[in-house]
Amino acid sequence: MTMKAAFLEVYRGFMSLLTGMRITLGQCFKPIITVQYPRQTLKMAPRFRGHIELVLDPETGKSLCTACKLCERACPSDCIAVDGAKLDGQKTKSVTEYKLNFTTCSLCGSCIEACPFDAIQFSKDYNKVSFSRDTFSHMDLVKRLEERRKIWAQQRPAAPPAEMPMPGPAPASTPQTQEQKPS
């Protein structure tokens, strides 16, 4: 290639290096976009799919689940084990034991769609942590419902049942640190 073209190519190449450096310099002075996780946490989207949990009925404080086992059948990786019993004084069965094997659950939501009574929903907590495996392989959703019922019960006597604010489904286990939505 001709001498002129060679020099031109070297010159243009060198200029492309400079533009590259100009861009990184420009980026250098822009604000930081990363969220410093342990100190700041992100707010999860309303439709975020955490592990499934039983819905707390605002009026009665009990679960809506009637142990019909439809979700158990719909689950592709059969990680749900439901057990129900007919308590006296009620026409339908109510759930006594709801075991979820979160280690094999693929969060697809087939169980929630299959449930005719909308008794289960996705929870919003993402940083569940524990020292032993079986807290996840035998997640007991009924026990978790009890915990939330206690919180719900405390708020209930304070305010009359009618306009009682529904406690946020996310149990208070995650550290309540300052929330910061990245710019």
In the complex, the residues that contact other proteins under the rule CB under 8 A are 10, 12-14, 16-17, 19-21, 23-25, 27-28, 30-34, 36, 45-49, 74-77, 106-110, 113, 122
Reduced to 3 states (helix: H, G, I; strand: E, B; else coil), residue 140 is strand
Shortest distance in whole angstroms from residue 140 CB to other proteins: 23
Using the minimum distance from each CB to other proteins, give the nearer residue, 85 or 108.
108
Least Å from the CB of residue 3 to other proteins: 11
Ramachandran quadrant class, 139 (left: phi over 0; alpha: psi -120 to 50; beta: rest): beta
Smallest gap from Cβ 83 to other proteins, in A, equals 22
Beta carbon nearer to other proteins, 2 or 36: 36
Amino acid occupying residue 154: Q
Nearer to other proteins, 78 or 134 (CB): 78
**Burial state string for 57-88 with b = 16 or more CB within 10 A and e = fewer than 16:** eeeeeebbbbbbebbbebbeeebbebebeeee
| Alpha carbons 164 and 76: distance in angstroms, whole number | 38
Min separation Cβ 57 and other proteins, Å: 23
DSSP one-letter code for 130: -
Identity of the residue, 29 or 131, whose beta carbon is nearer to other proteins in the bound complex: 29
Identify which of residues 28 and 158 has a Cβ nearer to other proteins in the complex.
28
**Pick from 116, 127, 97, 119: which is nearest to 52 by CA?**
119
- CB of residue 165 vs other proteins: minimum separation in angstroms? 24
